[in-house]
Amino acid sequence: MASSLDVCEPRTMANSLFRYEVEDPSGKVMMGTMAAPDEATVESRLTGQGYRVVRIIPPPQAADRPSMATPQPRQASKRASPADQALFFRQLASLIRSGSTPYSALQELAPRTNHPTLREAAIEMSANAHNGIAISDAMERYPGLFAPHVVATVRAGETGGFLEIALDEIALESEQELAFYKGMWLPKVLVLQQVLALAIAQPLFPTLFPNNEPLRYLSLVLLRNIPIAVASVLLARWLWDRMRAPDLLARRDRWTLAMPVFGDLSRQRSLAAFIRMLRRLYAAGLMPIMAWAGAANVVPNSVLRARLTDARGMMEHGVPLHEAFRNTGLFADEAEQLIATGMASGEIVEMLDRVAEYYQRNVERALESSRFWMYRLAFALFLITAGAVVIIMFKTYFDAVFNFTKDWV
């Protein structure tokens, strides 16, 4: 059975993307892509890695290739939910792991994808794979659909030859997001219920509207209060969606890091993603600078991503890997010590495994804490709105009683 071995090296203007099919020493057939100036270079590199070349497919000629001139980013008309993305990437990873090429896997999956924008992106990714172009390039054209770190994760998988693992990582992240918000429907319903109760109760008693006319009450509720309540809910929903827009990513990530509990979760998830990808790229044989650059791009938080990207400049000036870790100021002392020991002993991959386990435990701890505080905040908001309803009802009721007995004195 064939398996995928996508090795998309950094491309330059002189390189083209070749597809190839090889056999490893055990006779297993593997397929993938490689950026190189010519077929001889591809064959030389593969032979040097111990593979027997079966065939090399050159990139199509410019006349046969679909026009890729000045590709314009496309804003997704409808953002895919975490459930849609988890299902899509989990299936794509399974198909590639079974031996399908990215092209055949996307050809199989695209027609069955229900989400319209995700299906459109899958078709374009399939066309890219068919023409020897990285599928991450097609994903990059949908910034409203695929976050930058998701595109970078796929690109790193293409670069290191573990595309199916990278796709599983993306699916797992979407599934964790679903689990994080699981059960939040209850406090949402309670808060909406109290907002509606406030709209109905506010004009109920005669002190606010002395004539006590039923038609006037209904008009105030239906024509004034409920429209205001609905507009407030829609405004809150719009602000939430607006903060998730790509152009506000950096601002949102800064605010997230500043939050006491949720900032720690964002930080731990980002560092765990960086360490896992650095370990995989390092084990795939990339140079430390290239491995660091590829791993930095998969960090979900854009603020931390920028700090890790800046550290690459230190490595370009000769700073060793463990010093780059220390200079970022992001990692725990235990992690820095393990990396330094790995550099000295030559067991850097093993030490990166230990660091990845450390940060994964931190992610699990921060996730539980964040879920606890999220529920507390949601129910606190429910209590505030419920209290507002009770206060208004009691105030207006007793004002009516006092106004009724005022003339007795």
- The answer to whether residue 93 sits within a structural domain is yes
CA angle at 359 for the pair 169 and 288, rounded to the nearest 5°:
75
CA angle at 383 for the pair 379 and 387, rounded to the nearest 5°:
170
CA angle at 29 for the pair 24 and 34, rounded to the nearest 5°:
80
Cα separation, 80 vs 177, whole angstroms: 13
pLDDT at res. 16: 62
Same domain, residue pair 242 and 129 = no
- The answer to whether residue 169 sits within a structural domain is yes
Helix (H) or strand (E) holding 341: helix 333-345
Q: Which whole number is the average pLDDT over 165-171?
A: 90
Same domain, residue pair 134 and 173 = yes
pLDDT at res. 35: 65
pLDDT at res. 82: 85
Cβ atoms of 187 and 180 within 8 Å: the answer is no
Cα separation, 171 vs 183, whole angstroms: 20
pLDDT at res. 6: 45
- The answer to whether residue 69 sits within a structural domain is no
CB burial of residue 70 (10 Å; 0-12, 13-18, 19+): exposed
pLDDT in tens, 21-64: 777 777 766 666 666 777 888 788 888 777 888 878 776 443 34
pLDDT at res. 69: 40
The DSSP call for residue 52 is E
pLDDT at res. 92: 92
Cα separation, 26 vs 360, whole angstroms: 35
Q: Which whole number is the average pLDDT over 164-188?
A: 81
- The answer to whether residue 407 sits within a structural domain is yes
Supply the DSSP string of 5-32, one letter for each residue.
----PPP-TT-EEEEEEEE-TT--EEEE
Same domain, residue pair 172 and 232 = no
CA distances from 217 to 202, 205, 208, 209, 220 (A): 10, 9, 11, 8, 5
Domain boundary among 180, 205, 233: 180
The range of the structural domain enclosing residue 88 comes to 82-180
pLDDT at res. 275: 92
Q: Which whole number is the average pLDDT over 140-152?
A: 87
Same domain, residue pair 317 and 267 = yes
Same domain, residue pair 235 and 330 = yes
Cβ atoms of 5 and 164 within 8 Å: the answer is no
Same domain, residue pair 40 and 107 = no
Q: What 3-state DSSP class applies to 57? A: strand
Same domain, residue pair 233 and 320 = yes
pLDDT at res. 209: 52
Question: What is the total count of domains within the chain?
Answer: 3
pLDDT in tens, 234-268: 888 888 777 777 667 778 888 888 888 888 988 99
Cβ atoms of 36 and 44 within 8 Å: the answer is no
- The answer to whether residue 330 sits within a structural domain is yes
Strands ordered across the beta sheet of 3-4: 3-4, 29-36, 16-23, 52-57
**β-strand pairing of 3-4 with 52-57:** unpaired
Here the tokens at position 335 are: 């992690």
Please name the residues in contact with 120: beta carbons below 8 A apart, sequence gap of 6 or more.
none
CA angle at 364 for the pair 362 and 368, rounded to the nearest 5°:
115
Same domain, residue pair 206 and 334 = yes
pLDDT at res. 10: 43
Same domain, residue pair 176 and 213 = no
The DSSP call for residue 301 is S
- The answer to whether residue 68 sits within a structural domain is no
Residues in the chain: 409
pLDDT at res. 64: 40
In this predicted structure, the answer to whether residue 397 has a pLDDT above a threshold of 50 is yes
Q: How many CB atoms lie under 10 A from the CB of residue 402?
A: 10
- 16: CATH: 3.10.20
**pTM for the full predicted model:** 0.69
- The answer to whether residue 76 sits within a structural domain is no
Supply the DSSP string of 101-119, one letter for each residue.
-HHHHHHHHGGG--SHHHH
- 402: CATH: 1.20.81.30
Same domain, residue pair 21 and 33 = yes
- The answer to whether residue 221 sits within a structural domain is yes
- Please name which of 16, 17, 20, 15 lies closest in space to residue 4, comparing C-alpha atoms: 20
Domain boundary among 151, 180, 209: 180
Same domain, residue pair 197 and 153 = no
Q: Token match 């808060």: residue?
A: 191
pLDDT in tens, 229-238: 888 888 888 8
pLDDT in tens, 36-45: 777 888 788 8
pLDDT at res. 72: 54
Same domain, residue pair 176 and 207 = no
